[in-house]
A and B are shown apart, each in its own frame.
Chain A
Amino acid sequence: MKAVEANSITHRFGKITAVDDVSFSVDTGELFGFIGPDGAGKTTLFRIAATLIIPSGGRMTLFGLNVVSDFRELRNHIGYMPGRFSLYTDLTVEENLQFYATIFGTTIRENYHLIEPIYKQIEPFRKRRAGRLSGGMKQKLALSCALIHKPRILILDEPTTGVDAVSRTEFWEMLEKLKEEGITIIVSTPYMDEALRCDRIALIQEGRLMGIDTPAAIRSSYGKRLYAVSHPDRYRLLLTLRGMPQATSPEPFGEAVHITLREGTTTEDIKRLLEQAGIEGTAVNEIKPGIEDVFLELMKKEY
């Protein structure tokens, strides 16, 4: 059975179509990521999956249960972590966890094994009020609360936004462990580099899915040979490459500019042309396209 099946889900807020005819399915035990910027529709889609809003159109089921008609039953199987921290800030760490366990008719002890690797890290602060925790600790507590009733699926809306890179890495390591327990996970993030941690990803922009596949397949769908050009004066390099018809679609990527080559152009040609423009000693190397390269390409096609 599929963990999630979404058929033509659409959701409108007044005149705005936040989610536009979205279809996808997630296998049981899969770690599935939605990658897209703010305003892409990730949160709306997740709230529909979490049975919190009713879609304007389309049909979604989780483990065969309909998110609209079977919401009561379904809620027992869902662990939802909203994008904004929404635990009780005036309750302590322990009280929050106790509260969520009680609502779902279970106890902390019963499912402690599931949260142990995560909760252990914040247990020294169990008497601290949730509002006084650091970003990374809040995130761990929220995940513990979402897990305490042993859900079959975790719905995590941007769990790593605003969290430092160390905590983010730890968080993804925790998700991998939960996956091994057989829990299906759908997770959203605006950060393209996190996509590589997922089994499959959906690229989402302005309410529409631009592609669904494994990260490796998404990367190889780029279809063209990609090169990274680097030089210490990056701004001048970028502007020069922009004015060069032989270098197609130059895009800044941190220290380098990524380009594709017009047919018949070699990397040596590019180096020479740059030299003629007064930019000497550039390095031009072929690279493997990343998720963000593909995302940019797809965005250009859309408009």
Chain B
Amino acid sequence: MEKEKVIEVKDLVKRFGAFMANDRLTFDVYRGEIFGFLGANGAGKTTAMRILCGLSRPTSGRVTVAGIDASRRPEEIKKRIGYMSQRFSLYEDLTVRENIELYGGIYGMSMKVIIPRREALLDRLSFTQYGDMLIHALPLGLRQKLAFAVAVFHDPEIVFLDEPTSGVDPVTRRQFWEMIYETASHGITVFVTTHYMDEAEYCDRIAIMSEGQIAAIDSPSALRKQYGTASVEELFVKIARPQKSKT
């Protein structure tokens, strides 16, 4: 069976002046896949992800996200994706319910749709008791879970997660990954960037970027086998250690 592509990147180049941030990237991401996007600082991850999210345009090459051309209609992409970053995701001075309403509203959902879905969501997360609490009063672990739930509240085709679980305790982290698995099992594609290699082990496939290019792409186990390393961490250091004395 042919897998359905939800992200198609062909010869993507992004230049900032003389600097080549993305140097002919080519890769596909499939529907319902958990795709890990790794790379050292400065390898070009953020640049590529901004293009995939419709926030920046490619210099050349062809990028299609959820069927939309990223060069021509980046605004359309934003409607079809969800985004969660570790740094900022929820408004601390709004309550849990208000945050959900706000995000639902931004994505054009009516209150008639939002309210029952919101209550169902709180129930599913066993969050009903926190519904009227301000975000800043919630423990970090709960915030992260809620942030993820909010990022997929409007049923996007793809959700982008930027280092979603760093610093979270091991129990909460597992609950978080289970939410990711569940989401992916419903056909939502999960695109994760992370510095943390144990997080990469949860992905179906990973791409490792180095100096603007994709240095390796496959399932974590296939890559470990191919490079003869025991962990993705070792693999990463082997592949992504940039040549010394540059810039």
Contacts and interface: CB of A to CB of B under 8 A. Distances in A.
Nearest to B221: A255
B63 to A, nearest CB: 24
B184 A124 contact: no
Contact of B140 (A39, A193, A251, A295): A39
Chain B CB within 10 Å, residue with most, of A36, A124, A135, A235: A235
B167 interface: yes
A164 B197 CA distance: 9
Given A37-B168, A38-B167, A235 B185 contact: yes
Interface in B183-207: 184-185, 195-198, 200-202
A135 B41 contact: yes
B60 interface: no
A296 B171 contact: yes
B39 interface: yes
Given A38-B168, A234-B181, A238-B178, A252 B42 contact: no
A190 interface: yes
A299 interface: yes
Contact of A163 (B195, B200, B201): B195
Nearest to A234: B181
Contacts of B141: 37
Interface residues of A, number: 35
Nearest to B245: A124
A192 interface: yes
A38 B143 CA distance: 13
Main secondary structure of the interface of B (DSSP, over half): helix
B69 to A, nearest CB: 31
A56 interface: no
A245 interface: no
B167 A190 contact: yes
Contacts of A292: 170, 198
B195 A296 contact: no
Size bracket of the B interface: 35 or more
Contacts of A40: 169
A165 B197 contact: yes
Contacts, number: 97
B234 to A, nearest CB: 9
A165 B237 contact: yes
A37 B181 contact: no
Contacts of B233: 165, 193
Contacts of A190: 166-168
A292 to B, nearest CB: 6
Nearest to B195: A164
B105 interface: no
A88 interface: no
Nearest to A235: B181
A295 B40 contact: no
Given A36-B169, A167-B41, A296-B170, 14 more contacts: A37-B170, A134-B42, A135-B41, A161-B166, A161-B167, A162-B195, A166-B237, A191-B196, A193-B198, A254-B198, A255-B202, A255-B220, A292-B198, A296-B174
Report, nearest first, the 3 A-B pairs whose CB atoms are least far apart: A254-B201, A37-B169, A235-B181
20 contacts: A37-B141, A38-B169, A124-B245, A136-B40, A161-B166, A164-B41, A165-B40, A165-B195, A165-B197, A165-B236, A165-B240, A166-B237, A191-B196, A191-B198, A193-B198, A234-B202, A252-B202, A254-B201, A255-B202, A255-B221
